[in-house]
Amino acid sequence: MPRPALFVVKATIAPSLESAFNEWYNTRRAAEAAQVPGLLAMRRYAPVALDVGAHPGAEPWQYMVVYEFESEEALRAFANSDTLREMTRDYEARFAGAGDRARFAYRQIFP
């Protein structure tokens, strides 16, 4: 049975575009994501300031979006798709130069 895989994007955005960025992500991007084959869920997060005791980390990103795919195969298909290329072009057209972002991919290893 295939295990889920995650595509994670972390981003910062200029304060002047933050409202537009959040509106766009919560409406347009969410609607686009809902059409991606093999995508189970898209969830957005913001960091929480929390004293975790030993081994604290610093989170430089304002936002994180997690796309959960039904399998690593589905994630790989998305990563090589025209859909992701178009989503990237749309993001760049709206927010290029207004912040930073990084992409990560993960496969489930337990359970």
Domains along the chain with CATH numbers: 5-49+60-107 (3.30.70.100)
Per-residue pLDDT reduced to its tens digit, 10-31: 999 999 999 999 999 999 999 9
Residue 51 above 90 pLDDT? no
pLDDT score at 9: 98
> Tokens 């200029």 appear where?
14
Q: Quick one: tokens of 55?
A: 């081994």
> Tokens 């790989």 appear where?
76
CA-based max dimension of the chain? 46
pLDDT band at 91 (very low <50, low <70, confident <90, very high): very high
- Sign of the alpha-carbon torsion through 74, 75, 81, 83: positive
Residue 55 above 80 pLDDT? no
Planar angle of CA 15, 59, 52, nearest 5 degrees: 130
Quote the CA–CA distance of 74 and 78 in Å, as a whole number.
6
- Identify each DSSP E strand in the chain by its residue range: 5-11, 39-45, 63-69, 101-107
Q: Quick one: tokens of 30?
A: 């969410």
